Protein backbone atom coordinates (compact mmCIF):
# COMPACT_ATOMS: atom_id res chain seq x y z
CA UNK A 1 0.00 0.00 0.00
CA UNK A 2 1.26 3.47 -0.82
CA UNK A 3 -0.58 5.24 1.97
CA UNK A 4 1.57 6.72 4.71
CA UNK A 5 -1.14 6.29 7.31
CA UNK A 6 -0.33 3.99 10.18
CA UNK A 7 -2.39 0.82 9.95
CA UNK A 8 -5.15 0.36 12.49
CA UNK A 9 -4.04 -1.42 15.60
CA UNK A 10 -5.98 -4.18 17.29
CA UNK A 11 -6.81 -4.25 20.96
CA UNK A 12 -4.41 -6.17 23.19
CA UNK A 13 -7.27 -7.40 25.36
CA UNK A 14 -10.20 -8.11 23.05
CA UNK A 15 -8.79 -7.94 19.52
CA UNK A 16 -11.18 -5.24 18.33
CA UNK A 17 -9.85 -2.69 15.85
CA UNK A 18 -8.86 0.40 17.78
CA UNK A 19 -10.45 3.76 16.99
CA UNK A 20 -8.21 6.74 16.51
CA UNK A 21 -9.07 9.96 18.32
CA UNK A 22 -7.21 13.25 18.35
CA UNK A 23 -6.90 15.60 21.32
CA UNK A 24 -5.12 18.86 20.53
CA UNK A 25 -2.86 17.12 18.05
CA UNK A 26 -2.28 14.11 20.30
CA UNK A 27 -3.43 11.02 18.40
CA UNK A 28 -4.38 8.06 20.54
CA UNK A 29 -5.85 4.63 19.79
CA UNK A 30 -8.72 3.48 21.92
CA UNK A 31 -10.81 0.34 21.98
CA UNK A 32 -14.53 0.87 21.30
CA UNK A 33 -15.32 -2.47 22.94
CA UNK A 34 -13.40 -2.75 26.21
CA UNK A 35 -12.33 0.87 26.73
CA UNK A 36 -8.61 0.10 26.55
CA UNK A 37 -6.21 2.81 25.45
CA UNK A 38 -2.98 2.46 23.49
CA UNK A 39 -0.41 5.23 23.83
CA UNK A 40 2.75 5.40 21.76
CA UNK A 41 6.03 6.39 23.32
CA UNK A 42 5.76 9.73 25.12
CA UNK A 43 2.03 10.08 24.56
CA UNK A 44 1.16 9.54 28.22
CA UNK A 45 3.25 12.58 29.08
CA UNK A 46 1.44 14.63 26.47
CA UNK A 47 -1.92 13.32 27.69
CA UNK A 48 -1.05 14.43 31.22
CA UNK A 49 -0.68 17.97 29.91
CA UNK A 50 -3.97 18.13 28.03
CA UNK A 51 -6.48 20.73 29.18
CA UNK A 52 -9.19 19.37 31.45
CA UNK A 53 -11.88 19.71 28.76
CA UNK A 54 -9.94 17.45 26.40
CA UNK A 55 -9.29 14.92 29.15
CA UNK A 56 -13.02 14.87 29.88
CA UNK A 57 -13.66 14.05 26.24
CA UNK A 58 -11.09 11.24 26.33
CA UNK A 59 -12.55 9.87 29.57
CA UNK A 60 -16.06 9.81 28.18
CA UNK A 61 -14.89 7.98 25.05
CA UNK A 62 -13.30 5.34 27.26
CA UNK A 63 -16.06 4.92 29.81
CA UNK A 64 -19.05 5.03 27.46
CA UNK A 65 -18.20 1.64 26.03
CA UNK A 66 -20.68 -1.08 26.83
CA UNK A 67 -18.47 -4.12 26.46
CA UNK A 68 -17.26 -6.48 29.16
CA UNK A 69 -14.46 -5.30 31.42
CA UNK A 70 -11.00 -6.27 30.23
CA UNK A 71 -9.45 -9.47 31.48
CA UNK A 72 -5.97 -9.22 32.94
CA UNK A 73 -3.22 -10.58 30.75
CA UNK A 74 -1.54 -13.41 32.61
CA UNK A 75 1.39 -13.81 30.28
CA UNK A 76 3.14 -11.60 27.79
CA UNK A 77 1.07 -10.57 24.79
CA UNK A 78 2.28 -9.36 21.41
CA UNK A 79 2.62 -5.59 21.02
CA UNK A 80 -0.06 -4.11 18.75
CA UNK A 81 2.35 -1.58 17.26
CA UNK A 82 5.58 -3.53 16.66
CA UNK A 83 6.90 -7.08 16.80
CA UNK A 84 7.84 -6.78 20.46
CA UNK A 85 5.77 -8.07 23.34
CA UNK A 86 4.06 -6.39 26.25
CA UNK A 87 4.95 -7.00 29.85
CA UNK A 88 3.36 -5.69 32.99
CA UNK A 89 4.96 -2.65 34.62
CA UNK A 90 3.85 -0.61 37.59
CA UNK A 91 2.90 2.97 36.88
CA UNK A 92 1.91 4.69 40.08
CA UNK A 93 -0.78 2.46 41.56
CA UNK A 94 -1.74 0.59 38.41
CA UNK A 95 -0.19 -2.21 36.40
CA UNK A 96 -0.02 -1.35 32.74
CA UNK A 97 1.13 -3.35 29.73
CA UNK A 98 4.34 -1.91 28.38
CA UNK A 99 6.35 -2.68 25.25
CA UNK A 100 10.08 -2.57 25.92
CA UNK A 101 10.78 -2.32 22.21
CA UNK A 102 8.65 0.61 20.99
CA UNK A 103 7.91 1.95 24.50
CA UNK A 104 4.18 2.09 23.94
CA UNK A 105 1.78 1.34 26.79
CA UNK A 106 -1.69 -0.15 26.94
CA UNK A 107 -4.05 1.07 29.65
CA UNK A 108 -7.15 -0.87 30.63
CA UNK A 109 -10.39 0.96 31.17
CA UNK A 110 -10.09 2.94 34.41
CA UNK A 111 -6.30 2.92 34.49
CA UNK A 112 -5.90 6.26 32.73
CA UNK A 113 -6.57 8.43 35.77
CA UNK A 114 -4.00 6.67 37.94
CA UNK A 115 -1.47 6.67 35.14
CA UNK A 116 -1.92 10.41 34.63
CA UNK A 117 -1.45 11.03 38.34
CA UNK A 118 1.75 8.98 38.28
CA UNK A 119 3.11 10.82 35.23
CA UNK A 120 2.24 14.23 36.65
CA UNK A 121 3.95 13.30 39.91
CA UNK A 122 7.06 12.32 38.02
CA UNK A 123 6.94 15.62 36.11
CA UNK A 124 6.81 17.46 39.40
CA UNK A 125 9.75 15.49 40.79
CA UNK A 126 11.74 16.21 37.63
CA UNK A 127 11.11 19.94 37.72
CA UNK A 128 12.00 19.99 41.40
CA UNK A 129 15.31 18.33 40.57
CA UNK A 130 15.92 20.89 37.82
CA UNK A 131 15.16 23.67 40.26
CA UNK A 132 17.60 22.29 42.79
CA UNK A 133 20.27 21.89 40.11
CA UNK A 134 19.67 25.44 38.87
CA UNK A 135 19.82 26.81 42.39
CA UNK A 136 23.04 24.97 43.05
CA UNK A 137 24.71 26.17 39.85
CA UNK A 138 23.67 29.76 40.54
CA UNK A 139 25.49 29.79 43.85
CA UNK A 140 28.61 31.97 43.91
CA UNK A 141 31.84 30.01 43.48
Site string (7-46) toward Zn ion, x via CB under 5 A: ----x-xx-x--------------x-xx-x----------
CA-wise closest residue to 36 among 75, 63, 7: 63
Distance of CA 12 to the CA centre of its chain: 13
Q: What is the DSSP letter of 45?
A: H
User: Which helix (H) or strand (E) covers residue 46, if one does?
Assistant: helix 43-48
CA-wise closest residue to 97 among 31, 22, 32: 31
CB closer to Zn ion out of 82 and 132: 82
CB closer to Zn ion out of 23 and 109: 109
Nearest-10 crossing angle of helices 111-138, 52-63: 150
Q: Of residues 40-79, which lie at the interface with Zn ion (CB under 5 A)?
A: 79
101 is a contact residue toward Zn ion (CB under 5 A)? yes
Please select the residue that binds Zn ion; options are 84, 95, 110, 122, rule is CB under 5 A: 84
Tell me which residues touch Zn ion (CB under 5 A): 11, 13-14, 16, 31, 33-34, 36, 79, 81-82, 84, 99, 101-102
Amino acid sequence: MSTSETPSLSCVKCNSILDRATFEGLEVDLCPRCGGLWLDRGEITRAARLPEAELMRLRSLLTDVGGPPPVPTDSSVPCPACDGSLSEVVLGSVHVDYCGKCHGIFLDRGELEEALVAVRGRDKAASLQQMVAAAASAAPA
